[in-house]
Amino acid sequence: MSGVASGHIPMNSRFVQHMDRCLTCRSCEVVCPNHVAYGQLIDKTRAMIATSSPSQLKDKTTIQKSWLRLLVERELIVKPTRFDTLRSLLRFYQKLGLQELLNKSSLLKRTKLGTLNRLLPHISMPRTSSSKTDVAKSWNKIYFPIGKPCGEVGLFLGCVARLADVATLNASIYVLNRLGYTVHVPPLQTCCGALHQHGGDTKTAAQLAQQNIAAFDGLNLHAIITTASGCGAQLVEYHSNFSTKVVDISKFLATTDGWGNIKIAPLQDKIMVHDPCTLRNVLHSSKYPYTLLTRIPGARVTPLAGNDQCCGAAGTYFLDQPVMAKALLNDKITALNNSDTRFLVTSNVGCTMHFSNALRNTNPKIEILHPVTLLAQQMNMLS
């Protein structure tokens, strides 16, 4: 990277391909004795690549974004409230059985659109209150606590999670309310900017950061809660007062009081925990999902083998580098298939989708969900 920046090494497609194949898992940062900020270096390098002359990359071996990818990034990711409309449409699409039909068809089998269709999870709807049944097109601005109030927090929705992980967002509100927290969901919040930051579009990432900071500004919050560790890793690096309040939901719940009157149903099934790279290497909070899950009476909580290695999801890596992503996932799938686990929990929506796609046909008995979602279920929240 230094060689290319200084002009000693040519900016060519071979170099770009090498950068593209980096997972940005940041495991190297954790073990580096000199504390090199590799995450910043790779982001700046990808920004340098994004602004390079097309003539430098004549052989076209680098990833070329499809029209669909560009459309999603420009019209959905940076305008995530549009997911509210899309959510209802996709829910109807699933109810008609069209997703399953296309999954079985060879029509889209080897296309990116076919991959996205397979990755699409069951679509849930936001809750209008802490009620178990009332649903709406989008989330309320505020959810009031059950019982004695003990504080106020903000909930960061993200972009993809608004569509693919509604259950976790609902579960977070449910649990936080029952612990006495008022939950604010600012409607002007947007994507965290991680996909743009890691893709070299630092200008858009900075704009999204400023919009999020402004959205939460003026609220008297104990914390800003994130449910996807990839988003959390981006938010803590905004380098502002906003960042100092960002905390992963498992860490917040594992370290807060108020559990004395909470009834949690026992669970005898085995629970395997996957540690997302961003939770482990950036947020340094990988121990908290285990702490949280031990609140479930009788639960057998155990780490998934190979947790020190990336699963291959890595943002959009599993779409851009499917062969390598699958190879990284294989050992984890083998470990799961050889276990007697009933649940796999992970704290990042991309990892959830990556695992789900692999297990859907090989081991559908394993339920993949967020730690807080499993906890909320045992607290009698209906999905």
Residue 138 confidence (pLDDT): 83
Domain with 293 in it: what CATH number? 3.40.50
Q: Please identify, among 57, 77, 97, the residue that sits at the C-terminal boundary of a domain.
A: 57
Looking at residue 69, its amino acid is R
The Cα–Cα gap between 262 and 112 comes to 44
- In this structure, is residue 145 part of a structural domain? no
Distance CA 254, CA 232 (A): 17
In a domain, 304, yes or no: yes
Q: pTM of the full predicted structure?
A: 0.90
Task: Evaluate whether residue 262 is within a structural domain.
Answer: no
Query: In the structure encoding, which two tokens stand for residue 343, read together?
Result: 């649940």
Instruction: List, as own/partner pairs, every contact residues 376-379 make where C-beta atoms lie below 8 angstroms and the sequence separation is at least 24, other chains included.
Output: 376/170, 376/171, 376/172, 376/174, 376/175, 377/171, 378/264, 378/265, 378/266, 378/267, 378/296, 379/174, 379/175, 379/178, 379/262, 379/263, 379/264, 379/265
Domain assignment present for 178: no
Q: Given 57, 86, 102, which residue is the final one in a domain?
A: 57
How many whole angstroms separate alpha carbon 338 and alpha carbon 325?
A: 21
Q: Please tell me whether residue 128 adopts helix, strand or coil conformation.
A: coil
Residue 90 domain-assigned (yes or no):
no
pLDDT at 130: 54
Q: Work out how many domains the chain is built from and give that number.
A: 2
Domain that holds residue 325: 270-378
Query: Cα torsion for 363, 366, 371, 376, to the nearest 10°?
Result: 140
User: Exposed, middle or buried by CB within 10 Å (0-12, 13-18, 19+), for 59?
Assistant: exposed
Taking phi first (over 0 means left), then psi (-120 to 50 degrees means alpha), and beta for anything else, what does residue 144 get?
beta
pLDDT at 280: 95
Tell me if 30 is assigned to some domain: yes
Single out the residue in 37, 57, 77 at which a domain terminates: 57
Q: Under 8 Å CB-to-CB from 219, ≥6 apart: which residues? A: 152, 154, 184, 186
Place of tokens 């997703």: 99
Which two structure tokens, joined as six digits, stand for 123? Answer: 């679509």
Per-residue pLDDT in tens (0 to 9) along the chain, 383 residues: 999 999 898 888 888 889 989 999 999 999 999 999 999 999 999 988 888 766 655 554 445 566 666 777 777 788 888 888 888 888 888 888 887 888 777 777 767 777 777 777 888 888 776 555 566 678 899 999 998 899 999 999 998 898 889 999 999 999 999 999 999 999 999 999 998 898 888 899 999 999 999 999 989 999 999 999 999 999 999 988 999 999 999 999 999 998 988 999 999 899 999 999 999 999 999 999 999 999 999 999 999 999 999 999 988 888 888 889 899 999 999 989 888 899 999 999 999 999 988 888 788 889 999 999 999 999 988 65
> Within a domain: residue 326?
yes
How far does CA 327 lie from the centroid of its chain? 21
Would residue 103 count as lying in a domain?
A: no
